[in-house]
């Protein structure tokens, strides 16, 4: 699959936003006393981590594609 430059930049934007959200959830989880809310935040951290790995794989593919052009 060939990625256009704007698509690569959009994935970078999504990854940056997701990183900020995950950081906030990790930080706030330590400050929350309700166990249910902590569990929700931990689930968000786990999901965000997986999604960031997937976005990283897409960005790696895109950068390898740029090197071969």
pLDDT tens for residues 24-42? Answer: 999 999 999 999 999 999 9
* CA neighbor of 13 nearest in space, from 58, 43, 68, 46: 58
* Residues found in the chain: 69
Whether residue 59 lies inside any domain: the answer is: yes
Whether residue 18 lies inside any domain: the answer is: no
Whether residue 34 lies inside any domain: the answer is: no
Range of the domain at 69: 39-69
Whether residue 4 lies inside any domain: the answer is: no
User: Residue 22 pLDDT > 70, yes or no?
Assistant: yes
Q: State the Cα–Cα distance between residues 37 and 54, nearest whole angstrom.
A: 26
Whether residue 44 lies inside any domain: the answer is: yes
Whether residue 17 lies inside any domain: the answer is: no
Whether residue 48 lies inside any domain: the answer is: yes
pTM: 0.84
- Written as one string, the DSSP assignment of 8-68 is HHHHHHHHHHHHHHHHHHHHHHHH---HHHHHHHHHHHHHHHHHHHHHHHHHHHHHHHHHH
Question: Of all residues in the chain, what percent carry a pLDDT higher than 70?
Answer: 94
Number of domains forming the structure of the chain: 1
Q: Looking at residue 2, what is its pLDDT?
A: 81
Q: State the Cα–Cα distance between residues 48 and 54, nearest whole angstrom.
A: 10
Whether residue 43 lies inside any domain: the answer is: yes
């Amino acid at each position: 699959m060939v990625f256009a430059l704007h698509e690569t930049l959009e994935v970078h934007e999504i990854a940056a936003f997701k990183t900020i959200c995950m950081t906030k959830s990790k930080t706030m989880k330590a400050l929350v006393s309700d166990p249910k809310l902590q569990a929700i935040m931990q689930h968000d951290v786990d999901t965000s981590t997986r999604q960031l790995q997937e976005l990283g794989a897409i960005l790696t593919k895109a950068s390898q594609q740029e090197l071969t052009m």
